[in-house]
């Protein structure tokens, strides 16, 4: 069962890449009241993480769902709803480990060993479910968010990381020997979002430093497997962060060469995408934890009610 899950997910991602689609790029959908929350959500409002994020993004894109909320068959029943007859669910995974006691054949001593496992289960989008509480189906009101304000949020987020950024030239890269990010001037980019998406990509690379997350895939030279894995981590990590910060990730000019290297890695190792997405989630979490404390997020009911309230009104 475990290998079957690895193969199913990896093969689907390979198919998407070969079709010219990067499955981890899913812009938020403003049609649903919770669309401003850009990660897929569980029934209780908790966001999914890691590989489950773009697995559900792929499903939402393929089936044209605007709602970002997913739940199991049983959770739907507990909320008073029911999955429509004939609907098929979507695969998500749960990773954990079990501890097994083993005896050393030479010494006879017992030792404990953790064995990781991956379990798949099925969820349904709320658009496949009837008779849930009304807020699960709420439509969005017209947005009043100023686009400039949204970019300011990205500026503040990046400033709080403390990453050193230099500008000049026409290439973007992270230089480990100097622990700094090199970026072309802002005005070289076709729009602000392209600049910020590229900078987020390089900021994920910045997290691999030994004094941060100490991430090393054994890269020896440009284009080898370790290099491709690190680029995949930066690509997925930047997609997660771009979604969190509500900007559209940029498709880089060197996209084709990167896709070729990613496909080779994924075809050679069916677990590579799980490693990359896990490391990307770790990098995104690390960068979020560098931000100053913020008030607690509102509950899902409040988020949806506020989003669907008429402009200038707030629910009591």
* 118, part of any domain: yes
Mean pLDDT (the chain, rounded): 81
* 314, part of any domain: no
Contacts of 277 (CB under 8 A, 6+ apart): 24, 50, 51, 53, 54, 236
Query: Residue 107, SS3?
Result: coil
Compute the average pLDDT of residues 211-219: 89
Q: At what angle do helices 147-161 and 225-245 cross, to 10 degrees?
A: 130
Residue 298's pLDDT is: 47
Query: What are 277's two structure tokens?
Result: 């997405």
* Residues counted in the chain: 316
Query: Residue 176, SS3?
Result: coil
Q: Containing domain of residue 77, as a range?
A: 2-308
Residue 307's pLDDT is: 38
Quick one: pLDDT band at residue 286, thresholds 50, 70, 90? very high
Residue 25 has pLDDT above 70, yes or no: no
* 315, part of any domain: no
Residue 133's pLDDT is: 92
Residue identified by tokens 């009591």 is 316
Q: What is the pLDDT of residues 114-173, one digit of tens each?
A: 877 788 999 999 999 999 998 888 876 655 545 565 688 899 999 999 999 999 888 899
* 171, part of any domain: yes
Residue 305 has pLDDT above 50, yes or no: no
Tally Cβ neighbours within 10 Å of residue 219.
Answer: 16
Quick one: pLDDT band at residue 14, thresholds 50, 70, 90? confident
Residue 290 has pLDDT above 80, yes or no: yes
Count of the separate structural domains present in the chain: 1
Compute the average pLDDT of residues 230-247: 89
* 117, part of any domain: yes
Residue 98's pLDDT is: 78
Q: Where are the beta strands (DSSP E) in the chain?
A: 70-71, 82-83, 90-103, 110-125, 129-130, 165-167, 173-175, 180-183
Among 99-108, 138-147, 236-245, 297-306, name the one with the lowest average pLDDT: 297-306
What pTM was estimated for this model as a whole?
0.74
Residue 230 has pLDDT above 50, yes or no: yes
Residue 201 has pLDDT above 80, yes or no: yes
Percent of the chain at pLDDT exceeding 70 = 79
* 316, part of any domain: no
Residue identified by tokens 């969820």 is 123
């Amino acid at each position: 069962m475990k290998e079957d899950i690895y193969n199913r997910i990896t093969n689907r991602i390979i198919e998407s890449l070969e079709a010219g689609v990067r499955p981890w790029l899913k812009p938020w959908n403003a049609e649903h009241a919770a669309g401003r929350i850009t990660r897929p959500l569980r029934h209780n409002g908790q966001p999914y993480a890691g590989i489950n994020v773009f697995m559900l993004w792929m499903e939402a894109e393929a089936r044209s769902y605007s709602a970002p909320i997913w739940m199991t068959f049983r959770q739907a029943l507990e909320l008073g709803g029911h999955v429509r007859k004939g609907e098929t669910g979507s695969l998500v995974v749960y990773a954990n480990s079990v501890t097994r006691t083993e005896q050393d054949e030479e010494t006879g001593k017992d030792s404990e060993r953790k064995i990781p496992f991956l379990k798949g289960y099925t969820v349904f989008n709320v658009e496949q479910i009837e008779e849930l509480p009304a807020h699960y189906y709420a439509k969005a009101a017209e947005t009043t968010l100023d686009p400039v304000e949204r970019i300011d949020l990205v500026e503040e987020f990046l400033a709080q990381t403390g990453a050193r950024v230099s500008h000049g030239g026409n290439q973007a890269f992270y230089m480990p020997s100097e622990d700094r990010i090199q970026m072309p001037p802002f005005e070289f980019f076709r729009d602000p979002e392209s600049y910020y998406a590229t900078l987020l990509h390089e900021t994920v690379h910045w997290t691999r430093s030994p004094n941060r997350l100490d991430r090393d895939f054994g890269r020896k030279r440009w284009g080898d497997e370790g290099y491709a894995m690190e680029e995949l981590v930066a690509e997925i990590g930047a997609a997660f962060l771009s979604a969190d910060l509500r900007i559209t990730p940029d498709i880089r000019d060197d996209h084709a060469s990167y896709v070729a290297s990613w496909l080779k890695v994924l075809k050679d190792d069916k677990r590579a995408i799980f490693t990359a997405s896990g490391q990307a989630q770790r990098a995104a979490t690390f960068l979020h934890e560098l931000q100053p404390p913020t008030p607690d997020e509102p509950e899902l009911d409040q988020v949806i009610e506020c989003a669907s309230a008429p402009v200038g009104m707030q629910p009591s």
